[in-house]
Amino acid sequence: MTQSDYLLISRGQWDESASPQDVQAAIDRFYAWYERGLADGVLKPGSRLEMRGKRVTRDGITDGPFAEAKELVGGYWFIVADSLEDAARIAAQNPCLAFGLELEIRPLEAARARGRRDERNAAGLALERRLMAPITETPSMLEGGCHCGAITLAFSTARVPADTAPRACDCSFCRAHGAAWVSDAAAQLVLRAHRPDRVRRYRQGSLAAQFLLCGDCGVLVAVVFEDDDRTYAAVNARCLEVRDGFAPVVPASPQKLEPDEKTARWRELWIADVRWTTD
pLDDT at 121 over 70: no
244 and 141 within one domain: yes
Alpha carbons 165 and 181: distance in angstroms, whole number: 9
102 and 145 within one domain: no
Per-residue pLDDT at 65: 53
Please provide the distance, in angstroms rounded to a whole number, between the alpha carbons at the two ends of the chain. Answer: 51
Per-residue pLDDT at 48: 78
pLDDT at 255 over 90: no
Phi-psi region of 28 (alpha: psi -120 to 50; beta: other; left: phi over 0): alpha
* Range in 63-67, 87-91, 190-194 the model is least confident about: 63-67
265 and 219 within one domain: yes
Highest-scoring range by mean pLDDT, 4-8, 32-36, 203-207: 4-8
pLDDT at 127 over 70: no
172 and 103 within one domain: no
Alpha carbons 63 and 40: distance in angstroms, whole number: 39
190 and 65 within one domain: no
Per-residue pLDDT at 154: 95
71 and 144 within one domain: no
Half-sphere exposure of 58 (CA within 13 A, CB side): 0
Once rounded to an integer, what is the mean pLDDT over residues 170-175? Answer: 88
Residue 115 covered by a domain: no
SS3 for 121-175 is CHHHHHHHHHHHCCEEEEEEEEEEECCCCCEEEEEEEEECHHHCCCEEECCHHHH
| CATH of residue 43 | 3.30.70.1060
Residue 122 covered by a domain: no
Once rounded to an integer, what is the mean pLDDT over residues 122-149? Answer: 61
pTM above 0.85, yes or no: no
Per-residue pLDDT at 254: 76
| CATH of residue 189 | 2.170.150.70
Per-residue pLDDT at 116: 39
* Range in 28-32, 104-108, 122-126 the model is least confident about: 122-126
Boundary (domain end) residue, out of 107, 127, 156: 107
pLDDT, tens digit (0-9, with 9 covering 90-100), for 33-42: 888 888 888 8
pLDDT at 115 over 50: no
Highest-scoring range by mean pLDDT, 105-114, 125-134, 219-228: 219-228
Alpha carbons 39 and 180: distance in angstroms, whole number: 19
**pLDDT level of residue 225 (50, 70, 90 thresholds):** very high
Mean pLDDT, the chain, whole residue set: 83
**pLDDT level of residue 222 (50, 70, 90 thresholds):** very high
14 and 147 within one domain: no
Q: Cα 27 to the chain's mean position, in Å?
A: 12
191 and 87 within one domain: no
Residue 36 covered by a domain: yes
173 and 91 within one domain: no
Per-residue pLDDT at 198: 93
Residue 159 covered by a domain: yes
Tally of domains in the chain: 2
Residue 141 covered by a domain: yes
Per-residue pLDDT at 237: 95
Per-residue pLDDT at 60: 85
Residue 73 covered by a domain: yes
Instruction: Tell me which residue range forms the domain holding 68.
Output: 4-107
